[in-house]
Structure 1
Amino acid sequence: MPTLICDCNKTMPLDPKALGRALDEDLTLHSTLCRREAGAFQQAVKGGADVVVACTQEKRLFAELGQQTEGAVSPVRFVNIRETGGWSRDAKGASPKIAALLAAAKLPEPEPVPTVSYKSEGRLLVIGPLEDAERFAALLGDALDVTIFSRGGSGAQERRFPVLGGRIDQLSGWLGAFRLAWSQDNPIDLDLCTRCNACVAACPEQAIGLDYQVDLDACKSHRACVKACDVAGAIDFTRAPVAHDDTYDLVLDLRRQPSFLQHAPPQGYFHLPPGEENGPRALEVVIRLRELVGEFEKPKFFAYKQKLCAHSRNEKIGCNACVDICSAEAISSEKSRQQIKVNPNLCVGCGACTTVCPTGALSYGYPRAGEQGTKIRTLLSTFERAGGTAPVLLLHSQERGQQLVEELGRAARVGAAAGVPANVIPLAVWHVASIGIDLWLTAVAQGAAHIALLATSEEAPQYLEALEQQMQVAQAILEGLGYAGRHFSLLRARNASDLDQELQLLAPRRGATPQTRAPFAVSGEKRTTLDLALDHLVEHANARPEAIALPPGAPFGSITVDKDKCTLCLSCVGACPASALQDNPQAPQLRLVESNCVQCGLCAGTCPEKAITLQPRLLLSPVRKQPRVLNEAQPYGCIRCGKPFGTLRGIEAMIGRLAGHSMFQGQALERLKMCSDCRVIDIYSASDEARISDV
């Protein structure tokens, strides 16, 4: 796969020999690849193999040039080495990072995944004051089928668009499938109203304004307005509120309070509150609305394995992390079915649900964890092979995060900023919340001295809280194992200047890493990846305590059992979704395989005696993966055959509770001391004896 590098008119100190050695490829340095040396690009795209062009500034130009080149058959990939490294105060030392970015650009594209489809015919609902709504309708009416919903406003006298008026009961849905449930409770039908203003002039109480809404508190029922509107017939005070149910493809909401309060509203819904309707964002919204006609697809960002889910058992709620964190309100509880439900149409692909899921029941689908892990490993290994030390991974979003990194690079070019430090490797992801503790610890095991997540205005507050909580867990593990230094940080930046300051503080942070780099590949199963990372970190650790205490919310831990309360009913075993709690077929025992425990709390919630307490920690001894007895009891033998069928304490407790019940007297009480087989035999024996006695 040929790689084309360009120092952008000699503004970057690139070393083609050093880069070539790291990539195992002969590289030629260009200075004007997009201009006088464009022939080199044209020659490369005739070769058939994928071509990597180290320039995103002229991406469009290269694409057009490829289309115009006869015999061009090679797919072209683009990677930014200019703003991310070449334009920086540390540019002379950035060769290892640039080599890493080039190597990652050569990786295969993520495997295709199922898609989610939307279809929009351009039916737009504009909600808000009539005058503002009609202004936006005029801007969009040539491209979209516009309907206005308004409680009033002076508006234009010419009725160019359908106008609905009343009370909105519910607005739900997404692009191509919005549902408006509303009640027509205004005596004036705005769609029939001709805006002749006869009713306004006729009303003696001035209860009707130019918004054509009747103030029923001021109205004294003279009904002069009804007579004035006799021809149009738009006013009817006897009309009961009429329920309507309409569908739309797009919604523009001009009210102060939006219909959707979640951080990530449905696709196809745009909110422009008063104060923004004339600002720069209004133009962006108008352009975006005009584009949303047709059929659209997006990746299905998640995969769900119900058998791994720790959300519910026996209608008891355990782990609710994904439901609580979803900023799109795309995840709901179905505890009766012992699972959660994800609406793919509402999902925005942030991946936060997958990072907080302790079991891996929810996994990120595009790109998959294995593909993301391969990219991280490629970046780190190439950086080190090219002579770099103490690499810092900077995870940022592909939208606002990428924009800030590029703005910072341009500022560094003119001396207004320091730029991205040489040992900081930017990695664009769909959303910073889509990568969690499994990949973080894997990256440390593979040599990352620090991992930073860039938070901008895109992230919901609950995302940042969850990421910080996971960082505390990961940092506690590394500190407990003796890996000195700080390994994780969450950067907050509103602009390039903020980012510059954060990065200059970030570059010197050098968390310790294992002397031997982890050789494993990231698994598709989250817990498997975590186990591999932990095993490697423990093997090469400087400290090996018996256990590391972890903060609440950690996906690792033990449970403690109050033996004075526990009756070994084993209801907790049936509730455990991870097979961490187990019984012993040979003896009345409650056992725990601690490596399986995800601290979901279903066992504690299910226990009728309230005898279970969660204990977040990471046990380091080999017993972590072996069954460990938490409680055991003396077996109770059947009084008829002697076979043990329960615990002495449990049977005695049951007999004590039922001894006073009218149904458990005499022989019935004795049957409680028998196993199930003998109990049936005894019942039939007693029936036979009774029949013989009757005869």
Structure 2
Amino acid sequence: MPTLICDCNQTMPLQPKTLGTALNENLTLHSTLCRREAGAFQKAVQSGDDVVVACTQEKRLFAEVGQQTEGATSVVRFVNIRETGGWSKDAASASPKMAALLAVAHLPDPEPVATVTYTSTGRLLIVGPLDQAEQVAELLADTLAVTIFAQGVSSQAQPGFPGQERKYPVISGGGLSLKGWLGAFEAKWEKNNPIDLDLCTRCNACVAVCPEGAIDLSYQIDSEKCTSHRDCVAVCKAAGAIDFNREVQTVTQAFDLVLDLGVKPLVTLHAPPQGYFAVNAAAGLASKGLLATVVKLRDMVGEFEKPRFFAYKQKICAHSRNETVGCNACVDICSAGAIRSEKDRQQIVVSPHLCIGCGACTTVCPTGALTYAYPRASEQGVRFKTLLSTYAKAGGTHPVLLLHSQGSGQQAVEALGRAAQLQKTVRGVPANVIPQALWHTASLGLDLWLSAIAFGAAQVAVLVTDEEAPAYLEGLAEQMRVAQAILNGLGYAGVHFHLLRTPAESGAGMVASLDASLQALGRARPTVPATPARFAVAQEKRSTLEMALDHLIAQAPAALPEAIELPAKGSPFGSLLVNTDSCTLCLSCVSACPASALQDNPERPQLKFIEKNCVQCGLCATTCPEDAITLQPRLLLTPQRKEARVLNETQPYQCIRCGKPFGTLKAIESMLGKLAGHAMFQGAAADRLKMCSDCRVIDIYSADNELKITDIRST
């Protein structure tokens, strides 16, 4: 796969020999690849092999040149080495990082996954003040079928509004609600306006005659102002559009797209459904945000696809068992409202149409029941291993993996790189800080972070912007506290995990803040494993965690403690404390455990536990009728972690009739104690509680026969 590098008019000190050695390729250094030396690009794309171009600035131009080049059949991939390192103040020592970025660009694309399809025919609902809605509709009506839900008129409504020509269907009412997604929205409202907008001719006679001013130019009547003069009814007699006795009707209507100009958005989720746009029109119809939204809406007719970002294994889900809810982590963190609990089915349900692919649910899932599907964890593991191994091969040390979104996060990194090239006070991305773009920063968690440290990273930093929901930041911080506690507990000194937040404002303040944060990361030298790991990241979260832990434990720089105490919130590892005085060994916890951490013994009354399997979901504790179980977040480091150990055991209770063991001594004695005063369980009935199920039936049958014989003799 040919690689084309360019020092961008000699503004970057590139070292083609060092880069080529790391990539096992002979590289030619260009200075104007996108201009005078474009012939080298044309020759490369005619080879038929995939081509890597180390430039994203002129990506569009290269694409156009490729289309105009006869015989060009190559797939071209672009990678940014300029803003990410070539324009930093220590660019001269950034060759290992550049080699790593180029090596990752050579990796194949992620394997395709199932897709989610949306179909839009262009039915647009605009909600908001009628005057503003009609003005926006003028910009969209040639492409979309517009319907307006009028919510009064704005304070900026011009005299003479509205126009007399009815260009768009206008509806109104109260209690408007919305559900659905692109191509499948359902609006529901109560048609409670005494004015029928279909009959209204916009003559404005009712507005002029109303003594209370209860009717505005959206032709809706304010019931709080109206005092029943009914002058409007009289003046509208010819059209018959006003009827205060009209029954309130509940109406539903389907739309493909929704533009919400209202003061209070209909959807308040941090990540609203695709096809829904909320814009504050108070800034004026010429505002940048509204115009950008109009442009997007004009392109949203047709069929659209996105990857199905998640995979779900209900069998190992810790959400619910036996009508008891344990883990709610995914439901609580989802900012798109895509995950709901279905108690009847005792599982969670994820709507693929609402899912935005943030992956936060997979990060906080303790069992791995929810996994990120595009790219898969195994593919992400290959990227990290390639990145870090190439960096080390090229002579790099103390690498810092900087994970950021491919949206605002990437823009922040590139802004820092440009500032470093223009301003003396800005240093730019340090030579040992390696940026990696993700679909979403919340899509990776404990398993891949620890794997990255095992593969050779000194630190893992996650750069978040205002794109991330507050719940995501909390979830990432929880996971980082657990990961850091594990490494420090194993003897690795320093701070290995960082959550970096860019200031809300863009510009110089954001650049200065990010620059200071990255420089501090670049200087830090936490303790890391002496030898990088070689394991392959598995798609199963727990398997990857175990392999990463095994390597980190084997490479631990100090004597290991027996166990590492972990934070109570977010820990996927731990033990259980069982109150043996309260526990009756009913074993309801065993059937509730989704990870097979709790087990019984078919031979005798025992509750056994394998700590390695425990995910600290809490289902056992919430299921226990005696409240005898307490979670103990920790990471046990002795061999007993992988062995079954007995948490509680007792003597079996033997049937008083046949001597066969059934139940436990404690459980039967507890039951007898609770029923001792009950009128239904006295005498022979109480004795039957001490019998096995077979003897209990026999005893009841024998008693019935004796009673019948006694009755016959007495007659």
Bucket of the pairwise TM-score, normalised by the shorter protein: over 0.9
Q: Give structure 1 stretches of 5+ with no counterpart.
A: none
In the other structure, the counterpart of 1:464 is 473
Deviation at 1:291, TM superposition (A): 1.0
Deviation at 1:691, TM superposition (A): 5.4
In the other structure, the counterpart of 1:431 is 440
Deviation at 1:684, TM superposition (A): 3.6
Q: How does 1:226-625 map to 2 (within 5 A)?
A: 226-278=233-285, 279-416=287-424, 417-494=426-503, 495-541=510-556, 542-553=558-569, 554-625=571-642
Deviation at 1:311, TM superposition (A): 0.3
Question: More displaced, 504-513 or 599-608?
Answer: 504-513
Aligned partners of 2:40, 2:215: CA distance in 1, in Å? 74
Deviation at 1:208, TM superposition (A): 2.5
- 8 Å CA contact 1:639–1:674 kept in 2: the answer is yes
In the other structure, the counterpart of 1:5 is 5
- 8 Å CA contact 1:254–1:277 kept in 2: the answer is no
- Give the TM-score normalised by structure 2: 0.95
Aligned partners of 1:563, 1:216: CA distance in 2, in Å? 66
In the other structure, the counterpart of 1:125 is 125
DSSP-derived class of the 1:599 partner: coil
DSSP-derived class of the 1:502 partner: helix
Deviation at 1:477, TM superposition (A): 0.5
Whichever residue aligns with residue 489 of structure 1, its letter is H
Question: More displaced, 445-454 or 641-650?
Answer: 641-650
- 8 Å CA contact 1:46–1:73 kept in 2: the answer is yes
Aligned partners of 2:6, 2:300: CA distance in 1, in Å? 37
Aligned partners of 2:148, 2:449: CA distance in 1, in Å? 49
Aligned partners of 1:283, 1:222: CA distance in 2, in Å? 43
- Give the TM-score normalised by structure 1: 0.98
Question: More displaced, 145-154 or 337-346?
Answer: 145-154
Aligned partners of 2:621, 2:584: CA distance in 1, in Å? 14
- 8 Å CA contact 1:181–1:245 kept in 2: the answer is yes
In the other structure, the counterpart of 1:135 is 135
DSSP-derived class of the 1:522 partner: coil
- 8 Å CA contact 1:46–1:71 kept in 2: the answer is yes
- 8 Å CA contact 2:151–2:262 kept in 1: the answer is no
In the other structure, the counterpart of 2:54 is 54
Whichever residue aligns with residue 196 of structure 1, its letter is C
Aligned partners of 1:249, 1:160: CA distance in 2, in Å? 20
1:279-330 Cα shifts (integer Å, max 9, x gaps): 2111111111111111100111111000010001111110000000000011
Deviation at 1:643, TM superposition (A): 2.3
Question: More displaced, 412-421 or 207-216?
Answer: 207-216
Aligned partners of 1:264, 1:514: CA distance in 2, in Å? 39
DSSP-derived class of the 1:337 partner: coil
- 8 Å CA contact 1:276–1:282 kept in 2: the answer is no
DSSP-derived class of the 1:421 partner: coil
In the other structure, the counterpart of 1:65 is 65
DSSP-derived class of the 1:262 partner: coil
Whichever residue aligns with residue 129 of structure 1, its letter is P
Deviation at 1:571, TM superposition (A): 0.8
Aligned partners of 1:629, 1:108: CA distance in 2, in Å? 48
DSSP-derived class of the 1:510 partner: coil
**Residues 1:29 and 2:29 are matched in the alignment:** yes
Aligned partners of 1:116, 1:215: CA distance in 2, in Å? 44
DSSP-derived class of the 1:507 partner: helix
In the other structure, the counterpart of 2:506 is none
| Overall identity of the aligned pairs, in % | 67
Question: More displaced, 156-165 or 93-102?
Answer: 156-165
Q: How does 1:93-242 map to 2 (within 5 A)?
A: 93-153=93-153, 155-158=161-164, 159-242=166-249
Aligned partners of 1:671, 1:557: CA distance in 2, in Å? 42
**Residues 1:674 and 2:691 are matched in the alignment:** yes
DSSP-derived class of the 1:286 partner: helix
Aligned partners of 1:338, 1:220: CA distance in 2, in Å? 53
RMSD in angstroms over aligned alpha carbons? Answer: 1.5
Deviation at 1:127, TM superposition (A): 0.7
Deviation at 1:517, TM superposition (A): 1.0
- 8 Å CA contact 1:313–1:335 kept in 2: the answer is no
Aligned partners of 1:497, 1:266: CA distance in 2, in Å? 34
Deviation at 1:687, TM superposition (A): 4.3
Question: More displaced, 414-423 or 561-570?
Answer: 414-423
Whichever residue aligns with residue 393 of structure 1, its letter is L
Q: Give structure 2 stretches of 5+ with no counterpart.
A: 504-509
In the other structure, the counterpart of 1:18 is 18
Aligned partners of 1:647, 1:190: CA distance in 2, in Å? 75
Aligned partners of 2:12, 2:260: CA distance in 1, in Å? 47
- 8 Å CA contact 1:50–1:75 kept in 2: the answer is yes
Question: More displaced, 197-206 or 642-651?
Answer: 197-206
DSSP-derived class of the 1:587 partner: coil
In the other structure, the counterpart of 1:658 is 675
Deviation at 1:546, TM superposition (A): 0.3
Question: More displaced, 218-227 or 448-457?
Answer: 218-227
- 8 Å CA contact 2:150–2:171 kept in 1: the answer is yes
Aligned partners of 1:370, 1:277: CA distance in 2, in Å? 48
Aligned partners of 1:106, 1:257: CA distance in 2, in Å? 48
- 8 Å CA contact 1:165–1:189 kept in 2: the answer is no
Q: How does 1:642-657 map to 2 (within 5 A)?
A: 642-657=659-674
